[in-house]
């Protein structure tokens, strides 16, 4: 069975392929299905945006669709960039530079932050179900690591002494916000696959 991941980001698709590697799913991205339109993220919450994307691409493709909306919420910035994380600046490097500039005078004990991920699973012509995951950390003073994408190089896990971009994929796929939301979504997917096999 196909599962459409509502993104063109190859890093995100690779993460989901790894997270669902043991399920009987053919995980594909929007480009694999020749889908080239973008869904405007007009929601004010991660859940609203995830639902908008999942619903639109499920109806366009006729395929069970997973969309997520995720972002970085920094306490010292009043929860920003939040749902505007991807639009915080043009490109990962510029986003990180802006974040570090805005936090340049903020001491370590006030640099707390969390990644939030909401996953929406939309059945074509059916229901949409959501799952949320978070992970806590703080913002490092400079980027470190080459794995991951987005704000990963400056999101530090104090317990590990490493940024998200320094962690091996095997660890990241256990503790990341996306992994935690995905763990909840997996249970739903297993039930969905079981129901589909019964109906065949």
User: What positions carry a catalytic annotation?
Assistant: 69
DSSP assignment of 109-164 equals GG-EEEEEEEEEEE-TTS-EEEEEEEEEEEE-SS---SSS-TTGGGEEETTTTEET
DSSP H helices in the chain: 10-19, 46-61, 92-102, 169-175, 177-199
Contact 133, 184 (CB under 8 A): yes
Tokens (6 digits) for 53:
């994307």
What is the Cα–Cα distance from 100 to 88, expressed in whole angstroms? 12
What is the Cα–Cα distance from 93 to 143, expressed in whole angstroms? 9
């Amino acid at each position: 069975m196909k599962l459409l991941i509502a993104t063109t980001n190859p890093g995100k698709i690779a993460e989901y392929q790894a997270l669902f590697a043991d399920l009987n799913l053919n995980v594909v991205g929007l480009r694999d299905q020749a889908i080239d339109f973008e869904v405007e993220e007009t929601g004010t919450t991660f859940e609203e945006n995830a639902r908008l994307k999942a619903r639109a691409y499920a109806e366009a493709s006729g395929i069970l669709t997973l969309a997520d909306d995720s972002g970085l919420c920094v306490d010292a910035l009043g929860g920003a960039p939040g749902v505007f994380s991807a639009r915080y600046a043009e490109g990962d490097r510029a986003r990180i530079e802006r974040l570090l500039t805005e936090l340049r005078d903020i001491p370590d004990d006030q640099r707390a932050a969390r990644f939030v991920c909401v996953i929406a699973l939309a059945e074509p012509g059916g229901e949409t179900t959501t799952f949320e995951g978070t992970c806590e950390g703080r913002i490092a003073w400079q980027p470190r690591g080459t794995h991951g994408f987005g704000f990963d190089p400056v999101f530090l896990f104090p317990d590990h002494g490493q940024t998200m971009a320094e962690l091996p994929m095997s660890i990241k796929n256990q503790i990341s916000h996306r992994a935690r939301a995905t763990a909840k979504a997996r249970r739903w997917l297993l039930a969905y696959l079981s129901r589909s096999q019964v109906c065949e």
